[in-house]
Amino acid sequence: MVRFGEVTLPASKSESNRALMIAAYGGFAPDYQNISDSNDTQILMESLRGLAPMSFLFGDVGERESMGGNPRVINIADCGTAARFLTTYLACHEGDWVLTGTDRMKQRPMTPLVDALCVLGADIQYVEKDGCLPLHIKGKPLQGGKASIDMTQSSQFASSLILAAPMWSQGLELELAGDLNSLPYLDMTVAMLSCFSAQAERQGRKVIVKPQPYQKQYFMVEPDWTAASYWYEMAAFSEECEIQLKGLRGPSTFRQAQDSGTASLQGDAIIAEWMSQLGVGTFVGDDAVVLRKIPFEKRPLTFDFSQHPDLYPTLAATCIGLGFEATFTGLDNLTLKESDRVEAMRQELSKLDHRPIRFCAHNDHRVVMALAPLSLLFGPVGFDHPEVVEKSYPNYWDDAPFLMP
């Protein structure tokens, strides 16, 4: 089989969500290009649009109904990023709020962030189960200062605090405790602060944010490297290919990208290095990253997902499809995602010996997008809920119609 063509990837929701929070904290209308159209980003945007006095940033939604003295309920559905980022935002802005989500979201951890915010003076109570949504938040101005946060379960806890810190009179000195998982996402947050004239620096296990407010700046959101991983998988399953991923910046490990100042902020760009071991080469052009087949040695491989958990479904499916022996480590936090991704992939990959193949989506966009390219090797596959891809890549099936049965 041969795959050629150009692909316009979805915008990075990680960059988009951070950019929206920076605008909200800075009090300016976003001047951004290529904001993600993913469900996650739309949920965050709608939540911010509904928060007075934030409506002027994202468009007026009309007269708001009186809450009659009751807390205002904000439902972020299954968007984990919105849950973490809005917890801090609500805690440091005047108001009485209840932050809630889906049943699955109510199982995902919040304790490290809530504990750190309470140390900084926030007023947050658990409504149902300790450690999880819903949260009753009585917002008030916070001054910042010193805090510690456990990174073991999610780097979003630290990012949430760091995004708020430039607006605090004392800034923030944040100690990073526990296992430093998903550290590239934290480093993305720190890097994006500097794009808006704030001052932040990570020094090993400490992040220092100066009390220097954000300034409005134009910002171009990069295409999403995690979404690119599914095209790497398709390339790996092809006998020959040339796939151009338009607008994607080169991985920071590529010297030419570093020298030109166009290296990606996204840690999942490591997929280029990983997939070179599976026969896919990455070539950085002026306005695209190009995927081509390259020679490779079939040998046992090892991948550590502690810093790149979203790539696990892609690599699991790719190694199974190519018949590679591989050892995967750093899987602990994958039980805390939209699904238990390790168990979900185990269940679905076991179906490859049966026909017809019909996969369960497990309400997990990344599970579906990683499984779909297996149709290139095993024939048509179906899904019970193919629409879940809208969480991060709404045009996935339009971009790759040949994957649909």
Rounded Cα distance, 250 and 258, in Å: 8
Q: How many CB atoms lie within 10 A of CB 21?
A: 25
Residue with tokens 């910042």: 144
Query: 105 in the Ramachandran plot: left (φ > 0), alpha (ψ -120 to 50) or beta?
Result: alpha
| Helix 39-49 / helix 80-91 crossing angle, nearest 10 deg | 20
Rounded Cα distance, 275 and 401, in Å: 23
Q: Which two tokens stand for residue 152?
A: 């073991």
Residue of 39, 393, 376 lying closest to 240 (CA atoms): 376
Q: 52 Cβ partners below 8 Å, 6+ apart?
A: 64
Query: Residue 11 has what DSSP assignment?
Result: B
The residue from 40, 150, 310, 364 that is catalytic is: 310
Residue 137, beta-bridge partner list: 97, 124
Query: 180 in the Ramachandran plot: left (φ > 0), alpha (ψ -120 to 50) or beta?
Result: beta
Rounded Cα distance, 215 and 359, in Å: 47
Q: 148 Cβ partners below 8 Å, 6+ apart?
A: 116, 119, 174, 175, 176, 177
Rounded Cα distance, 329 and 348, in Å: 20
Residue 353 annotated in active site: no
Q: Which two tokens stand for residue 40?
A: 């996650």
Q: Which two tokens stand for residue 310?
A: 């979203």
Q: Which two tokens stand for residue 233?
A: 């998988």
Strands (E), 26-161: 32-33, 72-75, 95-100, 123-126, 135-139, 145-150
Per the CB < 8 A criterion, the answer to whether 369 and 230 are in contact is yes
Q: Which two tokens stand for residue 303?
A: 């991948």
Per the CB < 8 A criterion, the answer to whether 25 and 160 are in contact is no
CA atoms within 13 A on the CB side of 184: 19
Q: Which residues are catalytic?
A: 310
